[in-house]
Amino acid sequence: MRPIRAINAFLVAAVLVSMAASPATPKQDPKNLKGAVRVDGSSTVYLIAEAVAEEFSKVAPGVNVTVGLSGTGGGFKRFSNGEIDISNASRCIKQPEIDACKSHKIEFIELPVAFDGLTIVTNKGNTWAKQLTMAQVKKIFASSETAKTWKDVDPSWPSDVIKVYSPGTDSGTFDYFKEVTVGKEGKIRADISVSEDDNVIVRSIEGDKNAIGFFGYAYFAENQGKLNAVPVVNPKTGAAVTPSPTTIEDASYAPFSRPLFIYVNKASLAKPAVAAYAAFALDNGAKLAAEVGYIKLPAVIYERAKANLAASKLGTQMLDENGMERMGILADIYK
């Protein structure tokens, strides 16, 4: 986990400035704030949310922030039912989730908070899978052409049976991996072992020489002494690229680089504690994302997100008119 550092006077000032700019939120000393902030969703974004909650509690000790990790899909279910103030998501919101929000009269503001590189990992004893093409990734994970042994993936590899681990099927990480690997209509193999807790996946792969799995880059960064990150061959350039802050930010680690989001219930912004927390997350997002192993967004994206929060800009910018995810550079999509 990230090193704990004392919050300084600048962060206190940042809360005051942000609160003054937030809608329906009077300027006040954050130490006087009271109330609760309810956050749930992605286990990937959990690391950032946990860091934000920890630092926020230092400047607003009267606010009780609870952060759950029920997965992106699970978070959106609670969010659309009005059970939480903020939903963490390792993918953008989907059209059915938007429809569920509308049916319960939930309006939301979409805020990117960091970049992540979905990382494929193996046991330290795996000396053969030095890189993977997307065709090989599909052989390992797809139900349509499931490789039972490593030799099924590459004839020069061992004949040992592969053991596959994955985040839960309700997670945004699983959704993103599935769509990139097998497409929206494809299916992931049925014999995977799943967990919503990425630390369980870390321990499982660490203990099995023939295991392979995936999760957000921060979990690998925290455990890189225990696991291998497998380079993935970029489909456009043909180069095998290892995930790192540089390759994720410049998108050369393709196709597994992705933005992470929080979604804020507009009605919850009427509560000063929630408005202050959301603004604090953006003001300190770059610093805290880096501390927990994720990659900061370009400064222009944070500025746009702050402006969108202050203006209560509603809805998603990540889907097209047909409800399909817009692909491309985030700065060209998110305005």
> Which among 170, 187, 191 has a CA at the least distance from the CA of 178?
187
> Which among 8, 219, 240 has a CA at the least distance from the CA of 119?
219
For domain 119-249, which architecture applies? 3-Layer(aba) Sandwich (3.40)
Once rounded to an integer, what is the mean pLDDT over residues 79-84? 97
Q: How confident is the model at residue 21 (pLDDT cuts 50, 70, 90)?
A: very low
pTM of the predicted model as reported, rounded to 2 decimal places: 0.79
Q: Is the pLDDT of residue 313 over 70?
A: yes
Q: Both tokens of residue 302?
A: 């944070």
Q: What percent of the chain is modeled with pLDDT above 70? A: 92
Q: How confident is the model at residue 27 (pLDDT cuts 50, 70, 90)?
A: low
> Which among 143, 146, 141, 147 has a CA at the least distance from the CA of 160?
147
Q: What is the 8-class DSSP label of residue 162? A: P
Identity of the highest mean pLDDT range in 215-224, 264-273, 293-302: 264-273
Looking at residue 148, its pLDDT comes to: 95
Give whole-number Cα distances, 304 to 230, 238, 307, in Å. Answer: 34, 34, 5
3-state secondary structure of 3: coil
Digit-coded pLDDT (tens) for 280-297: 999 998 899 888 888 889
- The answer to whether the beta carbons of residues 278 and 261 sit under 8 Å apart is no
Q: How confident is the model at residue 329 (pLDDT cuts 50, 70, 90)?
A: confident
Q: Is the pLDDT of residue 9 over 60?
A: no
> Which among 37, 43, 36, 38 has a CA at the least distance from the CA of 89?
43
3-state secondary structure of 128: coil
Looking at residue 264, its pLDDT comes to: 98
Phi/psi of residue 102, nearest 5 degrees: -60, -40
Determine the Cα–Cα distance for residues 242 and 202; give it in Å rounded to an integer: 18
Once rounded to an integer, what is the mean pLDDT over residues 200-222? 94
Task: Determine the length of the chain.
Answer: 335
Once rounded to an integer, what is the mean pLDDT over residues 171-191? 88
Q: Both tokens of residue 306?
A: 């702050």
Looking at residue 323, its pLDDT comes to: 87
| Residue 174 one-letter amino acid | F
For the chain, residues classed under CATH 3.40.190.10 are: 9-115+260-333, 119-249
- The answer to whether the beta carbons of residues 123 and 223 sit under 8 Å apart is no
Domain 9-115+260-333 fold is D-Maltodextrin-Binding Protein; domain 2 (3.40.190)
Q: Both tokens of residue 210?
A: 């023939």
Q: Is the pLDDT of residue 26 over 70?
A: no
Q: How confident is the model at residue 6 (pLDDT cuts 50, 70, 90)?
A: very low
Once rounded to an integer, what is the mean pLDDT over residues 88-100? 95
Q: Is the pLDDT of residue 270 over 60?
A: yes
Burial class (CB in 10 A: 0-12, 13-18, 19+), 141: buried
| Residue 98 one-letter amino acid | I
Q: Is the pLDDT of residue 20 over 70?
A: no
| Cβ burial 262-274 (10 Å sphere, 16+ → b, else e) | bbbbeebbebbbb
**Strand segments (E) across 131-224:** 163-167, 193-195, 211-215
Q: How confident is the model at residue 18 (pLDDT cuts 50, 70, 90)?
A: very low
Looking at residue 298, its pLDDT comes to: 87
- The answer to whether the beta carbons of residues 22 and 279 sit under 8 Å apart is yes
Looking at residue 12, its pLDDT comes to: 39
Digit-coded pLDDT (tens) for 101-138: 999 999 999 999 999 999 999 999 999 999 999 999 99
Looking at residue 43, its pLDDT comes to: 86
Which tops the pLDDT comparison, 172 or 204?
204
Q: How confident is the model at residue 24 (pLDDT cuts 50, 70, 90)?
A: very low
Mean pLDDT, all residues of the chain: 89
Phi/psi of residue 243, nearest 5 degrees: -65, 135
Looking at residue 169, its pLDDT comes to: 87
Once rounded to an integer, what is the mean pLDDT over residues 40-49? 91
